[in-house]
Structure 1
Amino acid sequence: MEPTRWLTDGEQEVWQRMLAVLTLLPAELDGQLQRDADLTHFGYGVLALLSETPGRSRRMSELAALVNGSQSRLSHLVGRLERRGWVRRERADDDGRGSVAVLTDAGYAHLAASAPGHVALVRSLVFDALTPTQMAQLGEITAALLARLSPTGDCPANARRRGSAADGS
């Protein structure tokens, strides 16, 4: 067994800062979306992914993987979104067994109304704090981390690059 490679003091400092960002940023984003749009960040992510997909629909299993949520969590969320009229479920055309989540016109309108406030907060908390060089570095860093965390490329950033219109967040 290999000996433990403990973090250096510098690595420990960077790790603690990263943990703080991973804790504080989602809480800020969630709070703004709940106040202004009656949505969680998870719910916003689901609506955004659906809006960027041709036909504004995705198989539930694919959607769960892309938003890094369990199928159970996604199913509960989609149920709440259905009750609001923002999403509907349909049977998958290709096999008739799976379910597809479809963003309704009302859901698209709610997302479109919610996006400016969300994007303003993302810009304020992240991009306005960085120089252009730091932004490029952050892009490289996050790409390297995602390559380790999601080697198959199943993540929302890659789903957006595979041919959907991005909304900027």
Structure 2
Amino acid sequence: MPADATTRDVPDDVTGDRSSVPWLSSDQLRDWQALVRLLMTLPPAMDAQLKREAGVNVFEYHVLAGLSDAPDRTLVLSDLAVLAQGSLSRLSHAITRLERAGWVVRRACPGHGRRVEARLTDAGMAKLEEIAPGHVREVRRLVVDRLSPEQLVALGEVARAITEATMADAAEACREPDGC
């Protein structure tokens, strides 16, 4: 068993039989730590740019963008939450802020009981068109232009593979009695 950060200070009573744990190699640990650093630094950097230049956060931007791509710029909140990768509670708070700005309206779905939908207003579309160029420049600066075309394709493939696994885990958790 390697004597590195993959094994340090892990009590036997927490892990059980340490010999059965498939510890990371030094190379795997280095790459895992690089991914963790990426996950910890990229989202705040993207968020800071949007807040500084447009007064919205990344989640709100993705809500606006998701609505802009939807038919009639309208989506049921549960579908929008999945698209924007957030909980219904987080989405509700974001929609409230976007409504106050006049960029989104919320209404009951006609003929669907308690379901609620959000619609991007013309003002919201104008705001998205105003802020999208700055966001794209930041995406290019921090990610796209730092990679070769082959690296970007590989990154996309890797991201989709990992996302598929995490989304499957999230869907499974929602099927449990106390989930979602």
> TM above 0.5, one fold?
yes
What do the CA deviations read for 1:92-117 (whole angstroms, capped 9, x no partner)? 12413211011000001001100000
Q: How does 1:52-63 map to 2 (within 5 A)?
A: 52-63=69-80
Query: In structure 2, what is the equivalent of residue 20 of structure 1?
Result: 37
Q: Which has the higher contact order (CA 8 A, sep 6+)?
A: 1
Moved more, 134-143 or 54-63: 134-143
Instruction: Name which of 97, 111, 114 aligns with 1:97.
Output: 114
Amino acid at match of 2:143: V
In 1, the alpha carbon distance for the partners of 2:45 and 2:145 equals 15
1:7 Cα shift? 1.1
Residue segments in structure 1 that go unaligned for 5+ positions in a row: 155-169
Query: In structure 2, what is the equivalent of residue 65 of structure 1?
Result: 82
What do the CA deviations read for 1:45-101 (whole angstroms, capped 9, x no partner)? 000000011111111111112222121111111011101100000111241321101
In 2, the alpha carbon distance for the partners of 1:65 and 1:139 equals 19
In 1, the alpha carbon distance for the partners of 2:150 and 2:21 equals 34
Amino acid at match of 2:39: L
Equivalent pairs counted in the alignment come to 153
Q: Does 2:145 align with 1:128?
A: yes
Query: In structure 2, what is the equivalent of residue 147 of structure 1?
Result: 164
Rg bigger for which structure? 2
In 1, the alpha carbon distance for the partners of 2:90 and 2:166 equals 21
List structure 1 runs of 4+ shifted beyond 3 angstroms.
none
Query: In structure 1, what is the equivalent of residue 51 of structure 2?
Result: 34
Amino acid at match of 1:64: A
Query: In structure 2, what is the equivalent of residue 9 of structure 1?
Result: 26
What is the root-mean-square deviation of aligned Cα atoms in Å? 1.7
Residue segments in structure 2 that go unaligned for 5+ positions in a row: 1-15, 172-180
Q: Does 2:76 align with 1:76?
A: no
Amino acid at match of 2:152: M
Once the two structures are aligned, what percentage of the paired residues are identical?
A: 44
Query: In structure 1, what is the equivalent of residue 6 of structure 2?
Result: none
- What TM-score comes out, normalization by structure 2 length? 0.80
